[in-house]
Structure 1
């Protein structure tokens, strides 16, 4: 087992106005990553052997965003709000069952 049971990477990339592609930061991803980080800490799930929520630059799935990926499983999610993120925490991170309705399709 690795240092963390689960490692989450949240794309928080911000492109300038008028860019050809969207960016996850336009969907409030930095604030929502902060929400998850605090929620995990409040639940006592952080630290060695627990769960870590990190900021990432562009994960190159911009049109599907905002996106986050959960390792070691490599499950990619999109989300809209705190309710979606709470569902990922409860179902996937605590319960071990990925949230299919929020999962991104496998790339072709």
Structure 2
């Protein structure tokens, strides 16, 4: 089996503050997104591995999605419309700038 051309990493974790309270938002706002992304990747014929990960340490900008090897980091990925825009960017070779972490 060949290795995939890209990996789409979706933050699925929360982290705690020093006092033990929850800080992150990614896990709370992305329910069902991994399945949606996986289905879209298949439907679009993209050669991508979709991976849920632990905290990416960008809680203030979350939910976070990363595309590798391009190293595109996206913030505020909290809807299927934003996911579609990112996948369109993968297909077209140009990321949607309005969601990128700079």
TM-score, with structure 2 as normaliser:
0.83
Instruction: Work out whether 1:103 is the aligned partner of 2:78.
Output: no
CA RMSD of aligned residues (A): 1.9
- Structure 1 segments, 4+ long, off by >4 Å, are none
Q: Number of matched residues?
A: 97
Q: What residue ranges of structure 2 are gaps of 5+ in the alignment?
A: none
In structure 1, the residue matched to 2:24 is: 22
> C-alpha distance in 2, partners of 1:30/1:96?
27
TM-score, with structure 1 as normaliser:
0.79
> C-alpha distance in 1, partners of 2:78/2:59?
14
Report SS of the residue matched to 2:87.
helix
Q: What residue ranges of structure 1 are gaps of 5+ in the alignment?
A: none
Instruction: Work out whether 1:55 is the aligned partner of 2:52.
Output: yes
In structure 1, the residue matched to 2:4 is: 4
CA contact (8 A) 2:7 2:68 kept: yes
> C-alpha distance in 2, partners of 1:21/1:15?
6
